[in-house]
């Protein structure tokens, strides 16, 4: 039985730069950083959330780098007349949405 979502993948060109951004600027912490072929499998977590992110780009999916992340982070963003959200980009140009949670 599915109990939840463990992680969501974020494609990246430079894993070291991505780790620096997500830990240094966004407050995530490294949960796992292990060699995996030509890349590393890097899982990050934030706060007490059981759901994390993975900084990994599967072979053949490089065209996803710098695209829109199909998910939303929970935070305390600015309220608008049509809803509450915030948008930001990581160093690879991936675009993220944050909403109240």
98 vs 5, residue with greater confidence = 5
Identify the pLDDT of residue 81: 81
> Is pLDDT of 80 > 90?
no
Cβ-Cβ contacts under 8 Å for 48 (sequence gap 6 or more): none
Architecture label for domain 7-58+66-100 = Roll (3.10)
Cα(71)–Cα(97) distance, rounded to whole angstroms? Answer: 7
Cβ-Cβ contacts under 8 Å for 40 (sequence gap 6 or more): 15, 33, 34, 56
- Average model confidence (pLDDT) for the chain? 91
> Is pLDDT of 89 > 90?
yes
User: Per residue in 4-51, pLDDT tens?
Assistant: 999 999 999 999 999 999 999 999 999 999 999 999 999 999 999 999
Per cent of the chain over pLDDT 70 is 96
Structure tokens at 87: 């948008």
Instruction: Compute CA 100 distance to the chain's CA centroid, rounded to the nearest angstrom.
Output: 17
Mean pLDDT of 61-81: 84
């Amino acid at each position: 039985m599915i109990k939840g979502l463990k992680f969501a993948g974020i494609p990246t060109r430079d894993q070291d730069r991505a780790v620096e951004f997500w830990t240094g600027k966004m407050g995530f912490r490294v949960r796992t950083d292990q060699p995996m072929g030509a890349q590393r499998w890097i899982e990050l977590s934030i706060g007490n959330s059981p759901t994390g992110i993975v900084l990994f780009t599967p072979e053949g999916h490089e065209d996803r780098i710098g695209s829109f992340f199909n998910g939303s982070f929970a935070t305390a963003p600015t309220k608008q007349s049509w809803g509450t959200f915030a948008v930001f980009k990581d160093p690879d140009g991936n675009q993220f949405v944050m909403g109240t949670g």
